[in-house]
């Protein structure tokens, strides 16, 4: 995402107040590090992700930390500056192909799948951004089955069927009600029960709230909360981009593809098994299985925004014929809106 556009949006977000208990990690360049921008956008929920490559950058970051700001440098092989200052960091970004460093910092790791996560210390955060070919280790079989069943009902059945399913599985009720009553649910007034919430939401929004619950689970962990927030971010972004003119069947279908893009990872199901279990239409199946399609290209565009992959962002943005600044604004809007979901999952 364009850095100036991102920082402008962050300034507005900080003025309005940040919600949720998880920090908001923002990658910045060395140029921004030495500017006055960080003082203008400072907020206790912000963590600045920055590459610290020399002693001058290290001194600047440590000075800003002393002022109360939080930073997450990247530990790359051969980076003696960060390696020699491990004890100075509260957060530390690591590559998946590196060994866990001896530090008390919260480790942020990207690109680790399946059992490979087991080699990292307890409390490690795995950066969201997995595409559908990445899955997690198994979970409790009964809960896993219930979540998949809930997702199937959320996508293809009536509100009445959803209400019946929640009544048969009462432990779903409190979390569903919390999501529905959050800003992410979008109700004009609080619902009194899960059934009441589903009726108030109406068929489309009820299905989406139930899908988010299926991805997060009844007792969300930090990881599953990230899954749900990432899914909602992608869904909102893809819906916005479709309305701006990106090639796709319709905004509702694009929204659902964004939601489901995290499902194979969150539910530990291969894409083909998930497609069969949910009875997905061909366009959705193609997008999730990485086959060439307009919706699949939009999903890759969302992933490029998540990972700040400038080259991929340019390629997929050009394919949409939508100006890059509009794509940046759409993604930031989606990111901000989806962050409200986190509070409902605690």
Residues 91 and 213 in one domain: no
Indicate if 24 and 144 belong to the same structural domain.
no
Tell me what pLDDT residue 122 has.
77
- CB–CB of 159/203 below 8 Å? yes
3-state DSSP helix/strand/coil percent for the chain, to nearest 5?
A: 60, 10, 35
As beta bridge partners, residue 110 has 95
Rounded distance, CA 216 to CA 220, Å?
Answer: 5
* Residue 244, number of CB atoms within 10 A of its CB: 16
End-to-end CA distance of the chain: 29
Domain count, the chain: 2
Q: What is the mean pLDDT of residues 288-314?
A: 86
CATH number reported for the structural domain that contains residue 248 in this entry: 1.10.3210.10
| SS3 state at 136 | coil
Q: pLDDT value at position 173? A: 94
pLDDT digits (tens, 9 = 90+) for 253-279: 899 999 999 999 888 888 888 888 888
Residue 309: the pLDDT is 80
**Residue 137 pLDDT class (50, 70, 90 cuts):** very low
> Is residue 163 scored above 80 in pLDDT?
yes
pLDDT tier for residue 135 given thresholds of 50, 70 and 90: very low
Q: How many CA atoms lie within 13 A of 200 on its CB side?
A: 17
* Distance of alpha carbon 50 from alpha carbon 80, whole angstroms: 15
Q: Quote the domain boundaries for residue 8.
A: 3-126
CA distance 217 to 214: 5
Residues 53 and 170 in one domain: no
Phi-psi region of 176 (alpha: psi -120 to 50; beta: other; left: phi over 0): alpha
Residue 59 pLDDT more than 90? yes
Indicate the pLDDT class of residue 214, thresholds 50, 70 and 90.
very high
Shared domain for 278 and 326, answered yes or no, is yes
211 to each of 148, 155, 219, 258, 322, how far by Cα in Å?
Answer: 9, 7, 15, 11, 29
Mark whether 154 and 118 lie in a shared domain.
no
**What pLDDT does residue 138 have?**
47
Taking the CB of residue 234, how many other CB atoms lie within 10 A of it?
31
Could you please report the per-residue DSSP string of 255-315? HHHHHHTTHHHHHT--HHHHHHHHT--HHHHHHHTT-S-HHHHHHHHHHHHHHT-HHHHHH
Decide which of 126, 157, 181 is a domain's last residue.
Answer: 126
Are residues 318 and 266 part of one domain? yes
């Amino acid at each position: 995402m364009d850095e100036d556009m991102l920082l402008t949006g962050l300034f507005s977000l900080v003025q309005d107040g940040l919600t949720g208990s998880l920090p908001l990690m923002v990658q910045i360049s060395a140029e921004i590090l030495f500017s006055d921008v960080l003082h203008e956008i400072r907020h206790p929920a912000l963590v600045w992700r920055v590459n610290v490559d020399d002693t001058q950058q290290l001194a600047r970051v440590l000075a800003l930390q002393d002022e109360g700001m939080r930073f997450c440098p990247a530990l790359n092989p051969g980076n003696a500056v960060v390696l020699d200052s491990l004890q100075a960091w509260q957060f530390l970004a690591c590559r998946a192909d590196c060994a866990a460093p001896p530090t008390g910092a919260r480790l942020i790791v990207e690109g680790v799948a399946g059992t490979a996560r087991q080699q990292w210390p307890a409390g490690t955060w795995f950066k969201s951004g997995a595409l559908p070919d990445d899955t997690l280790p198994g979970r409790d079989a009964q809960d896993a089955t219930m979540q998949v069943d809930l997702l199937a009902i959320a996508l293809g059945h009536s509100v009445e069927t959803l209400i019946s399913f929640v009544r048969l599985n009462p432990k779903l009720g409190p979390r569903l009600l919390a999501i529905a009553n959050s800003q992410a649910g979008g109700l004009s007034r609080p619902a009194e029960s899960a059934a009441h919430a589903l009726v108030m939401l109406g068929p489309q929004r009820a299905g989406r709230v139930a899908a988010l619950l299926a991805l997060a689970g009844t007792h969300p962990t930090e990881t599953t909360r990230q899954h749900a927030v990432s899914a909602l971010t992608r869904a909102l972004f893809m819906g916005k981009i479709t309305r701006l003119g990106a090639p796709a069947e319709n905004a509702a279908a694009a929204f659902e593809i964004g939601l489901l893009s995290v499902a194979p990872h969150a539910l530990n199901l291969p894409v083909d098994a998930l497609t069969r279990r949910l009875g997905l239409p061909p366009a959705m199946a193609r997008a999730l299985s990485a086959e060439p399609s307009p919706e699949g290209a939009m999903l890759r565009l969302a992933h490029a925004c998540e990972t700040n992959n400038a080259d991929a962002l340019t390629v997929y943005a050009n394919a949409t014929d939508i100006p890059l600044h509009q794509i940046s604004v759409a993604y930031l809007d989606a990111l901000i809106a989806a962050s409200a979901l986190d509070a409902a999952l605690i």
